[in-house]
């Protein structure tokens, strides 16, 4: 069963067709039952469904535009990728343009956060952002890594 309704798909197709200018790679880290079984971890059925639903949602989003590509990595089987992207929990989704992989979402981007996620795809693609000029000036003062973790809920 599709995670995104046909109506939603039509809406985001319009938004993404108008908005996307450069390709965006959606890099996703997940877990599969098989690999976890091999490492003797037992994945509860609820978590499996959550991972599956997240993968399906991303596949459906990626399918609406040829400027989007989806790369799915198995967290347990890809320590190199996990290390390269600094992934410490899953499901993890990175919106990547060129070398910028600093826009990240952890969890299933549904509910209230779905529109934020789609808008972020457009902003990453275009390299655009919505900040007051004062904020932009202050941000130029930043000269060392800043890690923002924003905890939210989709319902």
Partner 1 sequence: MASLAYSMAIASPWVTADVVEISEFAELALKYGVIGVPMTIINETTRLRGSLSEANFIEPVVKAGTDRSS
The pair of structure tokens assigned to 41 is 């971890």
Q: Is 98 in the site for partner 1 (CB under 8 A)?
A: no
The angle at the Cα of 125, spanning 23 to 32, to the nearest 5 degrees, equals 65
The window from 1-9, 32-40, 67-75, 103-111 that contacts partner 1 (CB under 8 A) reads 103-111
Q: Is 69 in the site for partner 1 (CB under 8 A)?
A: no
Q: What is the 3-state secondary structure (H, E, C) of 81-119?
A: HHHHHCCCCCCEEEEEECCEEEEEEECCCCCHHHHHHHH
Q: Is 138 in the site for partner 1 (CB under 8 A)?
A: yes
Give dist(CA 100, CA 143) in Å, integer: 16
Q: Is 120 in the site for partner 1 (CB under 8 A)?
A: yes
* Number of chain residues interacting with partner 1 (CB under 8 A): 44
Residue 50 or 81 having the CB closest to partner 1: 50
Q: Is 6 in the site for partner 1 (CB under 8 A)?
A: no
Give dist(CA 83, CA 81) in Å, integer: 5
- Identify residues 13-52 at the interface with partner 1 (CB under 8 A): 50
User: From the list 15, 106, 114, 133, which residue makes contact with partner 1 (rule: CB under 8 A)?
Assistant: 106
Q: Is 133 in the site for partner 1 (CB under 8 A)?
A: no
The minimum distance between CB 155 and partner 1, in angstroms, equals 8
User: Sign of the CA dihedral 37, 39, 43, 48?
Assistant: negative
The minimum distance between CB 86 and partner 1, in angstroms, equals 8
Pairing of strands 100-106, 68-74: unpaired
């Amino acid at each position: 069963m599709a995670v995104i309704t046909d109506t939603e798909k039509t809406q985001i197709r319009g938004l993404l067709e108008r908005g996307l200018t450069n390709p965006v790679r959606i890099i996703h880290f997940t877990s599969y039952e098989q690999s976890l079984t091999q490492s003797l971890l037992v994945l509860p059925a609820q978590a499996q469904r959550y991972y599956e639903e997240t993968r399906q949602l991303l596949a459906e989003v990626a399918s609406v535009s040829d400027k989007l590509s989806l790369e799915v990595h198995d967290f347990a089987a890809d320590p190199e990728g996990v290390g390269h992207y600094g992934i410490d929990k899953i499901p993890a989704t990175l919106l990547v343009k060129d070398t910028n992989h600093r826009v990240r979402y952890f969890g299933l981007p549904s509910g209230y956060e779905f529109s934020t996620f789609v808008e972020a795809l457009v902003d990453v693609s275009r390299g655009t952002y919505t900040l007051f000029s004062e904020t932009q000036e202050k941000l130029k003062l930043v000269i060392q890594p800043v890690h923002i973790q924003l905890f939210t809920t989709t319902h």
